[in-house]
């Protein structure tokens, strides 16, 4: 029996433990609000209600939900937060900045959370480059890339959770590999300072399983593992591919979006899913599908 595959008896006992937490992580590259859409792509005002409804629906039943997004322009950030809050102003907040200037310019990789459930102990943005403390493009990357790092305190139990949302470069193979190394180094530094109950990393890695960055993230010496392949296949749900395109341009499906967790954490992976991004009306909410993982902190 593996660490993740606990017995039914232990599973039931852990759910009765007052200090256990059922935590959900959603990651989705929502596709930035372009003024020059691809063939098959609808503009953001058309995609927005579909994508926002997805986030609302999948975060309603579990208060301890983190939503990690990528390719989010500031106007989209406002739209998503408004939709999540609905009539309950202040229910949701976020951490993150625009990658171009560390303020509001360029794409965000934000983390949304409920302040009544999790308190932010500290957070920062790290640029995936040789100069990670300031806005910068690294190695052979075509664009500026970032990781948003948040340390959260669970209000009820006091447990510490490290959550990161990132977006690796789509063109620079060296950039992706170096970004993976930088994030693993960052995790190593953070865990020496705090006693985390769980460490979670989610995002668009632009790196399928046969690519160097993914292989670095999942190497035997790495402290992280891919929840999507660690969880038993019979309880995974939905699709395998996470990138679909809009049906015409760059139309090669790929598995490049992931949720990673620290191997040594005392957790149980309850579910994992890759959701649909198109329904009967034929409109793609994004060229990526959302990934969802349910993790129980024991």
Q: From CA 159, how far away is CA 83, in angstroms rounded?
A: 28
DSSP 8-state code for residue 5: -
The pLDDT mean for the chain works out to: 94
Contact 163, 124 (CB under 8 A): no
Task: Name residue 163's beta-bridge partners.
Answer: 150, 200
More confident residue, 87 or 219: 219
pLDDT tens digit string along 182-230?
999 999 999 999 999 999 999 999 999 999 999 999 999 999 999 999 9
Q: From CA 23, how far away is CA 3, in angstroms rounded?
A: 18
- pLDDT (average), residues 159-176: 98
List helix spans (H) across the chain.
8-15, 44-59, 74-85, 173-193, 212-217, 227-230
Look at residues 26, 10, 89 and name the one whose alpha carbon lies nearest to residue 271. 26
pTM for this predicted structure: 0.94
CATH architecture of 8-297: 4-Layer Sandwich (3.60)
Contact 113, 25 (CB under 8 A): no
Contact 185, 217 (CB under 8 A): no
Residue 17 scores a pLDDT above 70 = no
Q: From CA 25, how far away is CA 157, in angstroms rounded?
A: 19
Q: What is the pLDDT of residue 198?
A: 98
Q: ∠39-277-206 over CA atoms, to 5°?
A: 75
Residue 126 scores a pLDDT above 50 = yes
Residue 8 scores a pLDDT above 90 = no
Q: From CA 182, how far away is CA 141, in angstroms rounded?
A: 14
Q: What is the pLDDT of residue 1?
A: 46
Q: From CA 296, how far away is CA 298, in angstroms rounded?
A: 6
What are the b/e assignments for 258-282, b being 16+ CB within 10 Å?
bbbbbeebebbbbebbbbebeeeee
Residue 142 scores a pLDDT above 50 = yes
Which range among 17-26, 42-51, 115-124 shows the weakest confidence by mean pLDDT? 17-26
What are the b/e assignments for 285-298, b being 16+ CB within 10 Å?
bbbbbbbbbbbbbb
CA-to-CA dists, residue 225 to 198, 201, 261, 264, 265, angstroms: 12, 10, 6, 10, 11
Q: What is the pLDDT of residue 88?
A: 77
Q: From CA 163, how far away is CA 253, in angstroms rounded?
A: 27
Domain boundaries, the chain: 8-297
User: Could you tell me the two tokens for 165?
Assistant: 């949302």
């Amino acid at each position: 029996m593996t660490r993740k595959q606990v017995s039914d008896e232990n599973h039931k006992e852990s759910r009765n433990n007052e200090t256990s937490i059922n935590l959900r992580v959603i990651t989705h590259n929502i596709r930035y609000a372009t003024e020059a859409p691809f063939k098959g792509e609808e503009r953001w005002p058309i995609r927005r209600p579909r994508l926002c409804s997805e986030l609302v629906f999948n975060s309603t039943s579990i208060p301890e939900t983190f939503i990690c997004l990528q390719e989010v322009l500031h106007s989209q950030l406002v739209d998503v937060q408004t939709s999540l809050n609905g009539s309950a102003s202040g229910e949701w907040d976020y951490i993150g900045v625009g990658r171009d200037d560390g303020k509001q310019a360029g794409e965000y990789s934000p983390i949304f959370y409920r302040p009544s459930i999790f308190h932010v102990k500290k957070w920062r943005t790290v640029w995936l480059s040789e100069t990670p403390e300031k806005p910068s493009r690294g190695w052979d990357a075509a664009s500026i890339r970032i990781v948003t790092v948040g340390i959260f305190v669970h209000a009820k139990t006091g447990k510490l959770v490290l959550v990161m949302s990132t977006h690796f470069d789509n063109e620079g193979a060296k950039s992706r590999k170096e970004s993976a190394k930088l994030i693993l180094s960052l995790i190593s530094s953070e865990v020496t300072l705090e006693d985390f109950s769980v460490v979670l990393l989610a995002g668009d890695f632009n790196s399928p399983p046969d690519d160097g960055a993914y292989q670095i993230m999942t190497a035997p010496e790495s402290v992280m593992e891919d929840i999507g392949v660690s969880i038993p296949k019979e309880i995974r749900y939905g699709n395998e591919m996470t990138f679909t395109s809009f049906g015409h341009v760059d139309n090669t499906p790929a598995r490049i979006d992931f949720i990673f967790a620290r191997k040594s954490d005392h957790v149980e992976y309850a579910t994992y899913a890759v959701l649909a991004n198109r329904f009967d009306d034929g409109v793609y909410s994004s060229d990526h599908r959302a990934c969802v993982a349910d993790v129980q902190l024991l």
